[in-house]
């Protein structure tokens, strides 16, 4: 794979995973965590005598939160197993054909990558799925698996597999490949926080923590006595809950990443987004950009808009042959058909220049080569999501930039990020807007006082509104997107509710941000929402009588992202 040396997290984690200890790994995005757990597993399996066979069933299970990450880990695994043809890789995930998966499981898969729902399905219903030899259970992006509402599935999976397989796990300094196989569990993420506490408690026994206290671990490593990591961890783990309970924990973002924000009034958001995208796509030779939105509808709407909107400030008609933003545009979200998701994922990987519009389904773990720019058009939820979104660029020491859109009423979000050790500088927006040509004499030499009054923004907004008004299909899409966007805005949780308050929004300006001249009615929508909520509450009450356990875990429910 042309790797010349291990990354820091690999140098730290590989010996520990080889030692057989349970491990909790926390390292910045794009630092090579995938190989940090796959390499030692493969090392152990390839050396096993007699050779592992398909009929032995599954030795290692890797759980990931999304289908795309599942495919990505599987592809890396295939490459790593190139020379070890007797070790069989495989994956099972939502959206795929169950019977085909069953057939593959029946034949035997040595290392299996899975999304939690589909794995549980097979554990319950595929009798030929053999997992009695299971030695490794990996939770990649552990916190996200829980955030997506897979808590119940994980508890059931652990129940079926036996959470820690009890007994003593891997002695310090010993190579567990040679010793009697024991179950070993590994949890990884760039943002391990208090959410993982419960999972860590029920799945890990006396684990080694990697990356959470770098200075200490560094000094242990430099003493060239990797074995002492075990005793270090032992002491640190006497109070694991206390160590992980800080909600203001610093999150690591790649040091070379240039992080900026832009204060944009709501009504000008769309015109500014389109201008920035045009600017980025037309400067520099190749650009790969990811733009994050809060809902699947918003991705679809902006995708259609960018694909179809044509406008030129110049009078020359030939300018109008191409789209306003000249860049191959792709989209990826959880409401798309599996085949389309797969195609978009593969296409963005291979394109040299492209624009990917996506929801948070792309935020975790995906390793698209050479992404240079991340735009968070709709602000993320918690700071963890900010970290993972920007982590799609500046991977493994490469350069990268990120840009966060904030409305004037949302500026406190910057303080929230500062609490996690993340600080942003302001993007020179006016400079970009001023670079666009204006032919109307009345604007010449005028001082621009506010962004909303910038002549370019006014001109473009007018063109966008005319385009939407003239296309009934686009208008309908814009109206639906407006409603789901407001609902998503209202769904911000915890502390963030104080920053992202629906009642502070000017809904007329929100409508403008979808190029609508008038604000669509939310009445029908809120009524539907209330009915849904009532039904949900009633259902939950009924269930709570039957099973207390279920109530606890349904609070976090899975939604297409």
Ligand X SMILES: Nc1ncnc2c1ncn2[C@@H]1O[C@H](COP(=O)(O)OP(=O)(O)OP(=O)(O)O)[C@@H](O)[C@H]1O
The 10 Å CB-count burial string (b at 16+, else e) for 345-384 is beebbebebbbbbbbbbbbbbbbbeebbbbbbbbbbbbbb
Residues 131-150 that bind ligand X (CB under 6 A): none
> Binding to ligand X by residue 7, rule CB under 6 A?
yes
Distance CA 456, CA 518 (A): 21
Q: Which of residues 360-379 bind ligand X (CB under 6 A)?
A: 365, 367
Question: For residues 72-101, which are near ligand X according to CB under 6 A?
Answer: none
Among 67, 152, 395, 454, indicate the residue that binds ligand X (CB under 6 A): 395
Distance CA 72, CA 342 (A): 11
**Residue closer to ligand X (CB basis): 334 or 391:** 391
Q: How far apart are CA 58 and CA 118, in angstroms?
A: 16
Chain residues 11-30 in contact with ligand X, contact rule CB under 6 A: 27, 29-30
x/- site string to ligand X, residues 173 to 212, per CB under 6 A? Answer: -----------------x----------------------
CA 248, chain centre distance (Å): 20
Angstrom distance (rounded) from CA 356 to CA 514: 19
| Environment class of 156 (CB within 10 Å of its CB; exposed 0-12, middle 13-18, buried 19+) | middle
- The SS3 assignment for 367 reads coil
Q: Which residue of 396, 411, 430, 453 would you call a contact of ligand X, by CB under 6 A?
A: 396
Burial of 95 (0-12, 13-18, 19+ CB in 10 A): middle
Does residue 108 interact with ligand X by CB under 6 A? no
CB 350, min distance to ligand X, A: 14
Give the Å distances, CA to CA, from 169 to 38, 173, 412, 415. 19, 12, 46, 43
Q: Which is nearer to ligand X, 348 or 500 (CB)?
A: 348
Q: Shortest Cβ distance from residue 66 to ligand X (Å)? A: 11
**Beta carbons within 10 angstroms of residue 204's beta carbon:** 25
Instruction: Kindly indicate which of the ranges 153-161, 165-173, 391-399, 515-523 contains the residues binding ligand X, using the contact rule CB under 6 A.
Output: 391-399
**CB 1, CB 79: distance < 8 Å:** yes
Q: How far is the CB of 396 from ligand X (least distance, A)?
A: 4
Instruction: Name the minimum Å distance from CB 147 to ligand X.
Output: 15
Window contacting ligand X (CB under 6 A); options: 121-129, 390-398, 447-455, 494-502? 390-398
Task: Pick out residues in 28-67 that bind ligand X (CB under 6 A).
Answer: 29-35
Smallest distance from the beta carbon of 218 to ligand X, in angstroms?
A: 18
Q: Among residues 226 and 298, whose Cβ is nearest to ligand X?
A: 226
Residue 288: both structure tokens together: 């790969």
CB of 427 to ligand X, least distance (A): 24
The smaller minimum CB distance to ligand X, of residues 269 and 392, is found at 392
Q: Does 6 bind ligand X (CB under 6 A)?
A: yes
How many of the other CB atoms lie within 10 Å of CB of 43? 16
For ligand X, the closer of residues 31 and 329 by Cβ is 31
Report d(CA 257, CA 401) in Å as an integer: 6
Interface with ligand X (CB under 6 A): 3, 6-7, 10, 27, 29-35, 190, 365, 367, 391, 395-396
């Amino acid at each position: 794979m042309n790797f010349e040396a291990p990354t820091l997290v690999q140098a730290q984690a590989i010996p520990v995973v080889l030692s057989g200890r349970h491990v909790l790994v926390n390292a910045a995005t794009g630092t090579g965590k995938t190989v940090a757990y796959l390499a030692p597993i493969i090392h152990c399996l390839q050396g096993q005598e007699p050779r592992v066979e398909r009929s032995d069933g599954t030795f290692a299970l890797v759980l990931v939160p999304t289908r795309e990450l599942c495919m990505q880990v599987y592809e890396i695994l295939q490459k790593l197993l190139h020379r070890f043809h007797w070790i069989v890789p495989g994956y099972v995930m939502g959206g795929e054909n169950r019977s085909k998966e069953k057939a593959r499981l029946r034949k035997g898969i040595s290392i299996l990558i899975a999304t939690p729902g589909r794995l549980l399905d097979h554990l319950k219903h595929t009798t030929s799925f053999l997992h009695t030899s299971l030695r490794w259970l990996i939770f990649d992006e552990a916190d996200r698996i829980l955030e997506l509402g897979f808590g119940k599935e994980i508890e059931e999976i652990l129940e079926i597999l036996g959470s820690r397989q009890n007994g003593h796990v891997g002695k310090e300094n010993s190579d567990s490949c040679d010793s009697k196989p024991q179950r070993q569990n590994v949890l990884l993420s760039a943002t391990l926080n208090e959410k993982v506490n419960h999972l860590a408690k029920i799945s890990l026994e006396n684990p080694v923590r990697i990356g959470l206290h770098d200075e200490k671990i560094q000094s242990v490593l430099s003493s060239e006595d990797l074995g002492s990591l075990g005793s270090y961890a032992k002491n640190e783990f006497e109070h694991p809950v206390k160590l992980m309970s800080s909600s203001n924990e610093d999150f690591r973002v790649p040091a070379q990443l240039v992080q900026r924000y832009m204060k944009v009034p709501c009504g000008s958001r769309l015109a500014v987004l389109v201008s920035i995208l045009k600017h980025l796509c037309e400067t520099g030779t190749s650009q790969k950009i990811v733009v994050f939105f809060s809902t699947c509808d918003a991705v679809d709407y902006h995708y259609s808009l960018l694909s179809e909107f044509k406008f030129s400030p110049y009078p020359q008609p030939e300018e109008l042959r191409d789209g306003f933003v000249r860049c191959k545009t792709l989209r990826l979200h959880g409401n798309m058909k599996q085949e389309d998701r797969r195609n978009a994922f593969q296409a963005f990987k291979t394109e040299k220049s492209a624009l990917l519009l996506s929801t948070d389904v792309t935020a975790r773990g995906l390793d698209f080569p050479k992404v240079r720019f991340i735009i968070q058009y709709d602000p993320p939820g918690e700071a963890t999501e900010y970290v993972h979104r920007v982590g799609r660029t500046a991977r493994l020491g490469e350069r990268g930039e990120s840009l966060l859109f904030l409305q004037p009423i949302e500026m406190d979000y910057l303080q929230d990020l500062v609490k996690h050790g993340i600080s942003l500088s302001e993007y020179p927006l006016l400079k970009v807007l001023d670079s666009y040509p204006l032919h109307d004499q009345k604007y010449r030499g005028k001082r621009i006082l506010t962004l909303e009054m910038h002549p370019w923004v006014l001109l473009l907004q007018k063109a966008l509104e005319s385009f939407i008004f003239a296309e009934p299909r686009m208008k309908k899409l814009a109206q639906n997107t407006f409603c789901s966007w407001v609902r998503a805005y209202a769904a911000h949780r915890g502390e963030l509710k104080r920053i992202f308050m629906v009642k502070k929004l000017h809904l007329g300006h929100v409508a403008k941000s979808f190029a609508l001249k008038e604000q669509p009615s939310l009445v029908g929508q809120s009524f539907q929402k209330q009915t849904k909520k009532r039904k949900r509450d009633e259902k939950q009450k009924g269930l709570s009588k039957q099973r207390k356990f279920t109530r606890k875990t349904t609070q976090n429910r899975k939604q297409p992202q």
